[in-house]
Amino acid sequence: MNALKIKKGATSHSAYNLRSNFSDTQEQHTLAVVVDNEAGVLARVIGLFSGRGYNIESLTVAEIDHEGKRSRITVVTTGTPQIIEQIKSQLDRIVPVHEVHDLTVEGPSVERELALFKVAGAGEKRVEALRIAEIFRASVVDSTLESFVFELTGTPEKIDAFADLMRPLGLVEVARTGVAALSRGAGA
């Protein structure tokens, strides 16, 4: 403490701000990248992540404009704010990339994921699996005497919660599409 009783680094407006501008906090961000739909583009984008040791939590790719031959890559990644900024600027420099949007910071967005769950069981476990599926609004897309396949669409957290509840009831297999996301509102 000094004579003025001002704690060093107390605020970002302090003349004594000794805090680093770099954060160690890991954040999850959803990036939407519009690219030319041509051979090798996905490999170049993914190569950027793997070459620098960045992690990809989720990845979805689909053509969004047949005439313009463009695709949208939605990547969910984790890193410090500085790493996320670095990823965005490096993506922006790749030649077939037209747009890079960080949906996490650009405002409200809608994120959804589709998952299929195979649950095997009999008796009470089978009834309980159907009851939980109804609560989560999961659809039964296949049924045998030994198992169900449920289809569920929702946020990644909803998908995780459903999987956690189905594990003790006989969850055998899960297939997930990865996150698809769009910003809310009229803007692009």
**pLDDT per position as a tens digit, 43-62:** 999 999 988 889 999 999 99
For 61-99, what is each residue's pLDDT tens digit? 999 999 999 999 999 999 999 999 999 999 999 989 999
Full set of structural domains in the chain with CATH:
27-102 (3.30.70.260), 110-183 (3.30.70.1150)
Single pTM value for the model = 0.77
SS3 49: helix
